Amino acid sequence: MSDLQTINSTGWGHVDTAARNRVLRNTYWLLALSLLPTVLGAWLGVATGITRSLSGGVGLIVFMAGAFGFMFAIEKTKNSAAGVPVLLAFTFFMGLMLSRMIAMVLGFKNGSELIMTAFAGTAGVFFVMASLASTIKRDLSGMSKWLMVGALAIMIGGIINVFVGSTVGMMVISVMAIGIFSAYMLYDLKQIIDGGETNYISATLALYMDIFNVFQSLLALLGIMGGEKD
C-alpha cells in the first residue's frame, strides 16, 4: 500500500508535470514560429496593397469569414499532421488582415516607431502575464465566462463601430480589448500550466489570438493618440 502511495505522489505526478511542461514548451515554439507567417502576410499586404479595398462591411465580412473558417479548420485538424500547417496558414491570413492598419500607421511620420512601441508593449504584457501565470496558485477557470462576455462586447462594439466610424469609439474599444485580452493571456497560460489545455495547437491558437488582439489594439490606440502627420 505504501508503494502505491509513493507512485501516486512521485511517479504519476512527475509524468503529469512533464506532460504539462512539454505542452508549454511546444506551445512557445509554435507561437514563435506562427509570428513569421504573420510578418510575411503583413509585409505582403503593405507591399502590394491587396487589402486596401477591404474597408467597411466588405472588410468585416472577409475577416470574419476567414478567421472563423480557419479557427474551425484548426480545431478539426489539431490532432493530425495537418494541424500545424493550417495554423500557420491562419496566421498568414491574420497578417494580411493586419496589413491595412499597419499601412495606415506607416503613413504617419513616426509610423515605424509606433509599430515598434506596440510590439514592445505587447511583448511586455506577455512577459508579465507569463510571470503571473507561473506564480499564481489559485484556479482561474472561473474567469472564463466573464472574459467571454467581455470579448463578445468588444466584438459587437467593433462591428458597430465599423459602420459608425467613431474615433472615440475606436479608442474605447481598443482600451477594453487590451484589458480583456491581457487577462485572457493570463487565463490561457494558466490553463496550460495547470494541465487544463493539453493540445499545443489549441493552446497556440488561443495565445496567438490574445497577442494579436493586444498588439492590434495598442497599435490603433498609438496611431490615434500619437500619430504625427507630415
Please give the pLDDT value at position 230: 65
Please give the pLDDT value at position 195: 82
User: Within 107-199, where are the H helices?
Assistant: 111-135, 143-164, 167-193
Instruction: Quickly tell me which residue has 482561474 as its cell.
Output: 140
Please give the pLDDT value at position 56: 67
**Domain residue ranges of the chain, discontinuous segments joined by +:** 2-226
Residue 153, number of CB atoms within 10 A of its CB: 14
Please give the pLDDT value at position 142: 81
Q: What is the pTM of this model?
A: 0.88
Please give the pLDDT value at position 10: 39
Q: Which helix or strand (DSSP H or E) is residue 29 part of?
A: helix 12-48
Let me know: does 51 contact 100? Beta carbons within 8 Å. yes
CA distance 147 to 152: 9
Q: At what angle do helices 143-164 and 167-193 cross, to 10 degrees?
A: 150
Per-run averaged pLDDT (10 residues), the chain, 230 residues: 38 61 91 95 90 75 89 92 94 94 90 93 95 87 87 90 85 93 94 87 95 95 80
